[in-house]
Amino acid sequence: MRNPSVHVASLWQGDEIYRSELGSLTRLTVDSFPILSGLSITRLTLAPGAFREPHWHANATELTYCTAGRALVSVLDDGSRFSSFLVGAGEMFHIDSGALHHVENIGDTDAEFISAFRHERPEDFGLSAAVGAMTDSVLGNTYDLPAAAFADIRRDTTARMVARRDGDPDIPAGAHFGDPHHFAVEAMPAPVDSPVGSARTARKQFWPALRDISMYSLRIREDGMREPHWHPVTAEMGYVHAGSARMTIMDPDGNLDTYTVNEGEVYFVPRAYPHHIEVVDAPRIQLLIFFDQPTPADIGYRASMSAYSRKVLAATFGVALDELPDLPFTSADPLIVTRNNPLDP
């Protein structure tokens, strides 16, 4: 069933770009999720032995979270800088716009990846399609070979997307070392950690490769809540990895949109729109939240109320001074708060 909110869409039921026994690729762009701006998202699955063919994104950086499986990732950046590294569940990789890269399942089980792109309509080129665009003679000249050497090569300007290797994977020895494209986000100590939830943060402070995108892995228990807040200079795009939550967003006209997001769905909050998140019908939730800035910042309701005198607040809300609640002073927002009151109907 389609979520009635304009802020929510299912990634599992998104635009299907590829599907076969080797895997699948679905995506949400502005074409199918019109509220998106500056961000989009894909879900890639790969069967054992399958790989996403070498490709690049012409207009967007990529930030990917591995949710399952184990993969070999290779990256060829400009200046002939090449690297390869291993990625497992709970780990991430970052690819600059235009960099050639591939993702290969080297495990015995299916692998899954959630990728955010720094454009609402990313453009892709596959290596097979790019080669298919050139004539045999041009390719022969490029590689100092006769044109006939390329007669049997698949020639098509439509990328293969996913293929399967023969035999066991070839894993370079260097793939076992650290790499600046790779970040084990779930292995880091949580910068935000409370009895009712935690947030691990892939942002420039901890991962210098990030220049225009970042991600929070947010976990909240059913007795916790993400406090109402807004992000002054960043939009927010969240993927529900596990559980379900209720959110409320207010737009500048004062209209409210309250909706439920479930596993496999994506929500989008425009820049500086106030919103909150609380768990419903689940013991906990995990969200992969992507931002269009390398270091997202927010302003929460708790610190907001602490910034002004009680006289200013009483006049703002139209109550007598002695009728104003005894609000706790908060110099730094906690991000996650305890839900002491019953869930609203």
CATH topology of domain 8-183: Jelly Rolls (2.60.120)
Cα 104 → chain centroid: 19
- pLDDT tens for each residue of 107-118: 999 999 999 999
CB 304 within 8 A of CB 298: no
pLDDT at residue number 79? 94
Q: Which is nearest to 229 in space by CA: 118, 327, 332? A: 332
Q: Which residues contact 48 (CB under 8 A, 6 or more apart)?
A: 105, 107, 108, 109, 110
The SS3 call for residue 123 is: coil
Tokens standing for residue 139: 């390719």
Given a cut of 80, whether residue 11 has pLDDT beyond it is yes
User: CATH topology of 8-183 equal to that of 185-338?
Assistant: yes
Cα 324 → chain centroid: 40
pLDDT at residue number 1? 39
CB 259 within 8 A of CB 5: yes
CA distance 71 to 91: 10
**pTM of the predicted model as reported, rounded to 2 decimal places:** 0.96
pLDDT at residue number 3? 64
The pLDDT of 85-93, averaged and rounded, is 98
The pLDDT of 201-216, averaged and rounded, is 97
Classify residue 176 by its DSSP letter.
G
Which amino acid, 326? Answer: D
Given a cut of 80, whether residue 213 has pLDDT beyond it is yes
The pLDDT of 236-250, averaged and rounded, is 97
| Domain regions of the chain by residue span | 8-183, 185-338
Classify residue 231 by its DSSP letter.
-
Given a cut of 60, whether residue 154 has pLDDT beyond it is yes
- pLDDT tens for each residue of 284-294: 999 999 999 99
The pLDDT of 13-35, averaged and rounded, is 97
Which amino acid, 123? Answer: E
Given a cut of 90, whether residue 344 has pLDDT beyond it is no
Tokens standing for residue 105: 């399942």
CA distance 100 to 97: 9
CATH topology of domain 185-338: Jelly Rolls (2.60.120)
The pLDDT of 169-181, averaged and rounded, is 96
Classify residue 79 by its DSSP letter.
G
Q: How large a percentage of the chain has pLDDT more than 90?
A: 96
The pLDDT of 9-33, averaged and rounded, is 97
Phi, psi torsion values for 214, nearest 5 degrees: -160, 175
The pLDDT of 19-25, averaged and rounded, is 98
Cα 68 → chain centroid: 15
Task: Name the strand (E) or helix (H) holding 66.
Answer: strand 62-68
**Average model confidence (pLDDT) for the chain?**
96
Which amino acid, 139? Answer: L
Given a cut of 80, whether residue 256 has pLDDT beyond it is yes
